[in-house]
Amino acid sequence: MASSLQKNIGRIASLALSLGVLVLAANVSNGNISFKKGPDAIASATVKNKGETASLSGVSGNFVILINKKNSPADTLDYFTGKTDHSNAKYSCHVPKNDEKAKELAYKMCDDVYEGDALILLSKAEYGDFDILILSKKTADIYTAKSLYDKADVSVVELKGE
């Protein structure tokens, strides 16, 4: 009897966990359920003030910016290399939540910033599931982001701040 009870508790726990994941992924409004497109439950978005100018001024350190050519506007590379000082495009950037220098740069240069675990962000990037990924050079070296440098759909920008 105890074995049967344990199995039922395990099934109920599995069902509750599955439903919890669906609730986290869903947007419920007025009785309609729609699933979010974009960052997963691990990430959170913050929108910068649109009045800020994208630049490296006030940001120190070395950075690696990975740009997914398939998911990013045409002028993205020019914007992040400084060939243009502004863009009308809206940039969604991913950044490791523990990479303070990269977060500082991302909040200056991007419209939407999604913070997440570095390993998960790089894993998703392996499969092309990102628009722009900003890393400090130190974080890029620790997590061997160079494995993404040779991908056909990835542009790599290395920047040096002040």
Determine if the pTM surpasses 0.85.
no
124 shares its domain with 59: yes
Distance CA 156, CA 133 (A): 10
| 109 and 140 assigned to the same domain | yes
Question: Three-state SS across 101-142?
Answer: HHHHHHHHHCCEEEEECHHHHHHHHHCCCCCEEEEEHHHHHH
pLDDT in tens, 4-29: 656 666 566 565 555 554 444 454 44
Q: pLDDT tens digits for 40-90?
A: 433 333 333 333 334 555 677 899 999 999 988 888 888 888 887 766 778
For residue 64, which of 129, 122, 124, 4 has the smallest C-alpha distance?
Answer: 122
- Structural domain span for residue 9: 2-35
Residue 127, Cα to own-chain centre: how many angstroms?
Answer: 13
Q: Looking at the structure, do residues 79 and 27 belong to the same domain, yes or no?
A: no
